[in-house]
Structure 1
Amino acid sequence: MSDQIKPSEVPLSTFDGVNSGDEMGSNSLLGIDKNLLIDASQLSIGAVICDGTNSIVYEGLYRSIPVAIKVIHPDRVSTVKSDVEKKFSREVLMLSRVKHDNIIQFIGAIVEPSMMIITELMKGGTLQKFLWSFRPDCPDLKLSLSFALEISRAMEYLHQNRIIHRDLKPSNLLLTEDKRKIKLADFGLAREEADDEMTTEAGTYRWMAPEMFSVAALRVGEKKYYDHKVDVYSFSMILWELLTNSTPFKGRSNVLVAYAAAKNHRPSIDKIPAPIAPLLESCWAESSEDRPEFKQITEFLGNFLHSICQSANIVPPPIFREAEYSINEEETNDIPVTDCLMDRSNGTRKKVPNLCLRFLRCFGYCL
């Protein structure tokens, strides 16, 4: 955020014809509660952060507080204006509903004369750029796993509230200025989970679950059944990136990436730490039913970080303390390590946290 930006220097009235008048009284437009709309006269626009296909994100100030401003550009969108407005409204309502330490904080929206979404400003940039800055090396393992844990917590929260993000990828994950904390952003494709079929025009092929498409091309708007486990698949690609600092299916076009995923091809796990490989493979399983829930993933990663702290003689945070876990050795004998994520007995799946911790303790000291 530039220190030169002042509220009086770049008034909103100079931006794309936006005036500073308060028209909010008539703007419970687009189904948006007027309480979610903010006073445009108190918003100032700064430099461009990123320029996307359908929007541009700027840094700015709202009541002297640094913010990010996402401006929707209908002229860039191939769909009709009513569809653009519907998607904008849905994103605003979705962001206003979610409140979690690892999800970007919604501040407000502006409807006229331009559609804008204002959120907290994350000065550390995207996870994608952070990883690029390290290549060809990898970030510290504990930091990568800490990011993965925070992402999992955010996704666990969304799924508990029946929200599917549908576009989980490194460019939609933002870092704090000290680059120690991560938050999920961009809810433009997020949906409430439906019990029937949902549209398929969602996501980015490199991180998209194969059940969202098929080898045969799908028309925009075509319906197909899938559930919240599509986010688990996307998470697996991000976890793989965090551990390898490589791009999944690097060098392949979108069409070839989709074809490979549909044929159950996955990135190599040769460089993945042995204790993490079963988690990764379960998350990108071909069948969504074989993928774990984020609650299980969160517990697994929390236990793993706990074991790393133990091996390095580091006092773990309270959430990872030994008192929170118990082990029954009779229950853990002769059980495959992959079963620490799933118990398939009687065709059901349930958490088996004790097995996870036993497995992690066996291998935690070799990292």
Structure 2
Amino acid sequence: MSLQQRRNARLKPLALNLLPKNPITDAAPHSAATVTRIICSDQCTTAASTPENTPVTVRQSAELFHSLYEVGVILGSGTYGLVRRCIQRSDGTRVVVKCVRSEDHEVRQVTRAEYDLMSRLSHRSIVTVKALHEGPAELWISMEECEDGSVDAFVRREGAFKEEHAKRLISQLLLGVNYLHNKRIVHRDIKPSNLVLSNDAHTLKITDFNSAKELLTKSGASNGVMLTDRGDPKWSAPEMRFGGFWNEMVDVWSSGLASYFMLRGKAPFCAQSAQVAKMLLSRELPRISWGSVTALTQNLIEQCLTINKDDRPTAMELLMHP
């Protein structure tokens, strides 16, 4: 039986309950939003905005960022900087700003690449980037605020979601992943702390594209599979964690782990334990405790956690799950 036949057989009883009218082109209402790239220097010119797909570089004084934003509380931290809530002085709009402190060329280039990639995305399940400000020792990426925080923080504070609520969030996650994959972009770091919530935790968006990778060469040819790894090993697919060839299907595995976390408030298994590693290398899925999660939702997550990436269903196929 061919791979497609196996997938068809597995998905045959499923309905279109999670599938919106047009999941591939399900762009956010703000698809015409503008973004600005600002490189801070001693020179000063007028800032400008441009259509979403064409970021503009505008030189401004190093003090521009602090003149535009009132810096607020720290929301999180990473290897090279902080994430802060800021207030736009012009109209009081709250934004989230990722501040990277480094003079290292590679670190700065990765930050620029993250901004450039995000500025080309427009989807209701992807956080909207607003501007890049760059100074001699710092870079600031400003983006929309999702006021309910990350899935990780919310679940740890409020407890796991009820199943119907979680299923709606999982649908939004898969829509975002499907949108990225149709653009040949792999996030590579899908996890509860990189999924943010708003609208009383009824709206979910994917954020933090620091590890994202485009599977296209400059000539437009597909690279197919990749070897370099990024992301958090606790949430990584087996093929990435153990140094194998990987492709966009790593995001499907991670989405399954994140979906389980929404429902149960924890990971389904300790991915870094020696016993679990041995089982995954033997292509055996560790035993999972489901509690009161229904059989259909269990099936959805188990499909995400198909160990062989070639047999793992795509995000589009998973959106067909009842």
**TM-score between the two structures when normalised by the length of structure 2:** 0.73
**Which residue of structure 1 lines up, in the alignment, with residue 36 of structure 2?**
none
User: Contact 1:206 / 1:248 at 8 angstroms: preserved in 2?
Assistant: no
**Which residue of structure 2 lines up, in the alignment, with residue 183 of structure 1?**
205
Q: Secondary structure at the match of 2:114?
A: helix
Match for residue 305 of structure 2 among 279, 284, 291:
284
Quickly say closer, same or farther: Cα 1:257–1:123, change in 2 above 3 A.
farther
> CA offset at residue 260 of structure 1?
4.9
Q: Identity of aligned pairs, percent?
A: 24
Match for residue 146 of structure 1 among 155, 168, 172:
168
**Which residue of structure 1 lines up, in the alignment, with residue 146 of structure 2?**
122
Equivalent residues in 2 for 1:115-264, closer than 5 Å: 115-135=139-159, 138-194=160-216, 195=223, 198-214=226-242, 225-250=245-270, 253=272, 258-263=277-282, 264=284
Deviations 1:18-60 (A, max 9, x none): 989665789xxxxx94358885231221111112222200110
CA distance in structure 1 between the aligned counterparts of 2:225 and 2:311, rounded to whole angstroms: 20
Q: Secondary structure at the match of 1:110?
A: strand
**Which residue of structure 2 lines up, in the alignment, with residue 98 of structure 1?**
121
Query: Does the alignment pair 1:87 with 2:107?
Result: no
- Larger Rg computed on CA atoms: 1
User: Contact 1:128 / 1:171 at 8 angstroms: preserved in 2?
Assistant: yes
**Which residue of structure 1 lines up, in the alignment, with residue 73 of structure 2?**
47
Equivalent residues in 2 for 1:32-43, closer than 5 Å: 33-35=55-57, 40=65, 41-43=67-69
Q: Which amino acid aligns with 1:132?
A: R
CA distance in structure 1 between the aligned counterparts of 2:106 and 2:273, rounded to whole angstroms: 25
CA distance in structure 2 between the aligned counterparts of 1:262 and 1:169, rounded to whole angstroms: 22
User: Contact 2:224 / 2:247 at 8 angstroms: preserved in 1?
Assistant: no
CA distance in structure 1 between the aligned counterparts of 2:80 and 2:119, rounded to whole angstroms: 21
User: Contact 1:55 / 1:70 at 8 angstroms: preserved in 2?
Assistant: yes
Deviations 1:144-178 (A, max 9, x none): 10110000111111011110000000000011152
Higher relative contact order (CA 8 A, sep 6+): 2
Quickly say closer, same or farther: Cα 1:276–1:191, change in 2 above 3 A.
same
**Which residue of structure 2 lines up, in the alignment, with residue 12 of structure 1?**
none
CA distance in structure 1 between the aligned counterparts of 2:134 and 2:275, rounded to whole angstroms: 39
CA distance in structure 2 between the aligned counterparts of 1:213 and 1:33, rounded to whole angstroms: 34
More strand by share: 2
Q: Which moved more, 1:32-41 or 1:48-57?
A: 32-41
Quickly say closer, same or farther: Cα 1:151–1:196, change in 2 above 3 A.
closer
Q: Secondary structure at the match of 2:97?
A: strand
Quickly say closer, same or farther: Cα 1:276–1:188, change in 2 above 3 A.
same
Q: Which moved more, 1:273-282 or 1:84-93?
A: 273-282
Q: Which amino acid aligns with 2:176?
A: A
The size of the alignment, in residue pairs, is 263
Query: Does the alignment pair 1:68 with 2:88?
Result: no
Match for residue 273 of structure 1 among 272, 294, 305:
294
Quickly say closer, same or farther: Cα 1:179–1:213, change in 2 above 3 A.
closer
CA RMSD of aligned residues (A): 2.8
User: Contact 2:225 / 2:247 at 8 angstroms: preserved in 1?
Assistant: no
User: Contact 1:200 / 1:213 at 8 angstroms: preserved in 2?
Assistant: no
**TM-score between the two structures when normalised by the length of structure 1:** 0.65
Deviations 1:234-260 (A, max 9, x none): 01111222222222324x757766555
Deviations 1:189-237 (A, max 9, x none): 01102515535331111210010132xxx6xxxxx52110000000111
CA distance in structure 1 between the aligned counterparts of 2:198 and 2:59, rounded to whole angstroms: 26
Q: Which runs of 5+ in 2 are unaligned?
A: 1-38, 48-53, 217-222
CA distance in structure 1 between the aligned counterparts of 2:296 and 2:179, rounded to whole angstroms: 25
Q: Secondary structure at the match of 1:295?
A: helix
CA distance in structure 2 between the aligned counterparts of 1:254 and 1:140, rounded to whole angstroms: 29
